[in-house]
Amino acid sequence: MSSTDTPQPTYSQGHSASVVASHVSRTVENSASFLTPHLKPDFTIVDLGCGPGTITRGFCAFVPDGSVIGIDSSAAVIEQARSLAVGLASGESESGASSAAEGLKGSYANLQFRVGDITAAPLPFDDDSVDVVYTHQTLIHIPSPIRVIREALRILKPGGILAMREADHAANEPTTPPLEQYWQSIFASARAMGAQGEGTGRRLHLWAQEAGFERSKMQIGAGATVYTAPDEAKWWAGVHIGRLDGEIGERWLRDKIVQSQHEIEDMKAALRAWGDSPEAWYSVMQGEVVCRK
Ligand SMILES: C[S@@+](CC[C@H](N)C(=O)[O-])C[C@H]1O[C@@H](n2cnc3c(N)ncnc32)[C@H](O)[C@@H]1O
């Protein structure tokens, strides 16, 4: 597994403020409730592609006698994950003395974040050593998801759990051609990097079988993320307008995901109009699969 001194894998969305803003809205409650009934207090949980770690740190309360380790290829986002958790832990202590360098305390004493490329096998864990591997909105961006799942199988203890939650497809109401083009372009940018993009959620159980998990030991389900008018829709539109104004717009032009700045401006106007609509509704269907080793 690579570290900070080796090139980082390219993540099609990048880590601009507007990308990370959507990741930090995620919690165990809204993104991992299909896993929590399976957790026991002494479990070790590894979160692959943990991003800013808001879900990762949420697992700590479920495994007070165990440990939680988040891994991401971006050193900057891991630093952010650590700082966010240290800030919360400091708020708990009277001295407020905890720092990123000292490590985590309080409710997060059992939490670690590491920089690493999860596609560069082997993952840094022994065979049969981990209770739970969780991954959320990460395999959708990765060209070799089966390799990652095979590694998850190797590090899990017998009876251990792989829990995956990945988007499948999105829908907006009201919708317009530039809005449809925006969502298609998001998925296309993942496909341009060799990843599956759209349709990932429906394939998780197939990839898990290819990697060696048994179908008879899987729970294959789905959930949804929904944002509606007024506040959530305005926020969600703003997040995506911010992405188009930043490095994603530039990359889409360079990679010919869009043909002109004019198309980007049309998408931004469509997002703004959708976010302002009193009827605004957005959903993304999420594949949720739990596999037992
Ligand atoms: C959409 S974000 C999801 C973050 C988090 N799981 C969440 O749901 O909020 C995908 C994350 O996967 C990370 N990632 C992409 N490719 C990776 C790789 N090869 N190894 C480790 N992390 C990777 C990205 O840096 C990014 O933070």
| pLDDT for the residue numbered 102 | 56
CATH number at residue 272: 3.40.50.150
pLDDT at 5 over 60: no
User: Closest residue (by CA) to atom 10 of ligand 1?
Assistant: 138
| pLDDT for the residue numbered 268 | 98
Does 116 map to a domain? yes
| pLDDT for the residue numbered 9 | 64
- Interstrand relation of 218-228 and 44-48 (parallel, antiparallel or unpaired): unpaired
- pLDDT tier, 237 (very low <50, low <70, confident <90, very high otherwise): very high
Positions of E strands within 9-103: 44-48, 67-72
Tokens describing residue 171:
């829908």
**Distance from C-alpha of 30 to C-alpha of 27, rounded to nearest angstrom:** 5
Provide, for the chain, the percentages of residues in helix, strand and coil under a 3-state DSSP scheme, each rounded to the nearest 5. Answer: 45, 20, 35
User: Closest residue (by CA) to atom 14 of ligand 1?
Assistant: 49
Note down the domain range covering 111.
17-92+100-292
**Distance from C-alpha of 132 to C-alpha of 164, rounded to nearest angstrom:** 11
Partners of 227 in beta bridges: 282
Does 8 map to a domain? no
- pLDDT tier, 7 (very low <50, low <70, confident <90, very high otherwise): very low
Closest-lying ligand 1 atom to the alpha carbon of residue 22: 9
User: 45-49, 94-98, 106-110: which range is least confident on average?
Assistant: 94-98
Does 119 map to a domain? yes
| Tally of domains in the chain | 1
- pLDDT tier, 90 (very low <50, low <70, confident <90, very high otherwise): confident
Does 10 map to a domain? no
User: Closest residue (by CA) to atom 17 of ligand 1?
Assistant: 73
Task: Show the 3-state SS of 168-221.
Answer: EEEEEECCCHHHHHHHHHHHHHHHHCCCCCCCCHHHHHHHHHHHCCCHHHEEEE
Out of 4, 31, 141, mutate this one to test ligand 1's pocket (max ligand atoms within 8 Å of CB): namely 141
Closest-lying ligand 1 atom to the alpha carbon of residue 13: 1
Does 65 map to a domain? yes
Does 183 map to a domain? yes
| pLDDT for the residue numbered 280 | 98
- Ligand 1 pocket (Cβ < 6 Å) reads 9, 11, 23, 26, 49-51, 55, 72-74, 77, 117-119, 136-138, 141-142
Does 1 map to a domain? no
Does 55 map to a domain? yes
pLDDT digits 0-9 by tens, 243-284: 999 889 999 999 999 999 999 999 999 999 999 999 999 999
